[in-house]
Amino acid sequence: MESMYSSSYVDDIREIKEENPFESMMSRFDRAAQLLELDADLYAVMRVPNRELKVYIPTRMDSGRMQVFEGYRVQHNFARGPAKGGIRYSPDVTLDEVRALAAWMTWKCAVVNVPFGGAKGGVICDPQQMSLGELERMTRRYAAELVDFIGPEKDVPAPDMNTNEQTMAWIMDTYSMHARHTVTACVTGKPVDLGGSSGRREATGRGLLFVINEAVKRFQMAPTSTRVVVQGSGNVGGIAAELLHEAGYKIVAISDVHGGIYNPAGIDIPNALKYLRTTRSFEGYEGVETVSNHELLELDCDVLVPAATENQITSQNADKIKCKVLAEGANGPTTAAADEMLHQKGIFVIPDILANAGGVTVSYFEWVQDRMGYFWREDVVNQRLQDTMVASFNDLCRYADAHSVDTRTAAYMLAIDRVAYDTRIRGFYA
């Protein structure tokens, strides 16, 4: 759709193509902003990030030589509180991808109404080819480069693809060494013994379970007769599959990066994941058919959970998707070009900025607990997560009905509305 307003920023910095997650994010932003009739000044301010940092990270490799890695931190918006978002290590990470992910964090925090803005970080590296020592040295130097820009009141990183609790512990320690005292609230997703929250590791998968439960109720389906396909079996997909299985859902297919397994009668998920952890692949798992990741998305099912990576459902395959409910565990698994095709097919989409917001919600709980110095029992964390996810799901459905729009558009409208309101009452310092 043509934008009402012009901005040289986005037009200058990117190629326009379907697989560019930043392009997908911006086209949805533009559509929602137009439907909201967003004030032109707010529009101009909100469509660009607040700050983008590019850092070079000299790292002593095990060979004794120095290697310089390139890293980013994009701080998209601070209107509602400190920026919040993960750090991704990948050979393919780009500034455009980090920009999109940072903006999604702003909209995600607003959709679940936690008092954070959005940020994201990325380092171009191949963690599979690096030793633990190399990863630690690179992480600490990256953290040292960011030390003036992150912190409990400024920007609070968390794990994302290829980073984990250990990475967060190194960042917390490096930050604390510079501060000259221990600052646990400078990152979330830490080990529980170092100020992490019970339930954080499972939070994104558990959040998915809660919103899928609500969608299933909405369509008067029962978990036991609901067939679920999950793409990805990491922190999000693996845990969501385990929790859905435990709740009685029938998981008919699951995959990892190498491919998937399918059994229309249902898969014993704990057993299959144990096999995956032992052999590092589903290959050779008995009593199932093998499917490619591409075929898996097109299987007949009730709920499809893409929980691996971006751009899985595109204009090329959207017409072949057969689920009733699409619950987006990954960030940006569907391109903007596929949205209308899914809508035409009557597929109910639980958009990523709601569906996978369980992680940031419990990250918020972790930050609160660190600042209080008082830690909650896991059942308390899980109950508060459920309250947030169910309330946010219902807010979103009401908003979509009230504005006669699909749930994706509603999620962006709701988020932009909240951020715009806070920006307006703070006023412009210009």
Which residues are tagged catalytic? 120
Is residue 235 within the footprint of ligand NAD (CB under 6 A)? yes
Task: From 281, 320, 317, 280, select the one nearest 300 (Cα to Cα).
Answer: 320
In the bound complex, what is the minimum distance in angstroms from residue 352's beta carbon to ligand NAD?
7
Do the bridges between strand 66-77 and strand 117-124 make them parallel or antiparallel, or are there none, so unpaired? antiparallel
Residues 178 to 217 in contact with ligand NAD, rule: CB under 6 A:
204
Is residue 57 within the footprint of ligand NAD (CB under 6 A)? no
Residue number, 213 or 356, with CB nearest to ligand NAD: 356
DSSP reduced 3-state for 389: helix
Residue number, 223 or 237, with CB nearest to ligand NAD: 237
In the bound complex, what is the minimum distance in angstroms from residue 61's beta carbon to ligand NAD?
24
Taking the C-alpha atoms of residue 115 and residue 117, their distance in angstroms, rounded to an integer, is: 7
Task: From 319, 328, 313, select the one nearest 408 (Cα to Cα).
Answer: 328
Among 188, 233, 334, 388, interactor with ligand NAD by CB under 6 A:
233
Judged by CB under 6 A, the number of residues near ligand NAD is: 22
Find all residues with CB under 8 Å of 195, minimum gap 6, and list them: 172, 184, 185, 366, 369, 370
DSSP 130: S
Residue number, 42 or 118, with CB nearest to ligand NAD: 118
Question: 273, 233 in Cβ contact below 8 A?
Answer: yes
Question: 122, 72 in Cβ contact below 8 A?
Answer: yes
Among 122, 223, 232, 351, interactor with ligand NAD by CB under 6 A:
232
Find all residues with CB under 8 Å of 341, minimum gap 6, and list them: 315, 318, 319
Is residue 156 within the footprint of ligand NAD (CB under 6 A)? no
Among 16, 40, 222, 257, interactor with ligand NAD by CB under 6 A:
257
Residues 307 to 346 in contact with ligand NAD, rule: CB under 6 A:
307-309, 329-331
Task: Provide the mask over 97-126, with x wherever binding to ligand NAD is found by CB under 6 A and - wherever it is not.
Answer: ------------------------------
In the bound complex, what is the minimum distance in angstroms from residue 84's beta carbon to ligand NAD?
11
Is residue 388 within the footprint of ligand NAD (CB under 6 A)? no
Burial of residue 184 (CB within 10 Å: 0-12, 13-18, 19+) is buried
In the bound complex, what is the minimum distance in angstroms from residue 95's beta carbon to ligand NAD?
16
Could you tell me the strand order of the sheet in which 66-77 lies? 51-60, 66-77, 117-124, 83-90, 155-159
Chain residues in the site for ligand NAD (CB under 6 A): 160-161, 204, 231-237, 255-257, 293, 307-309, 329-331, 356, 359
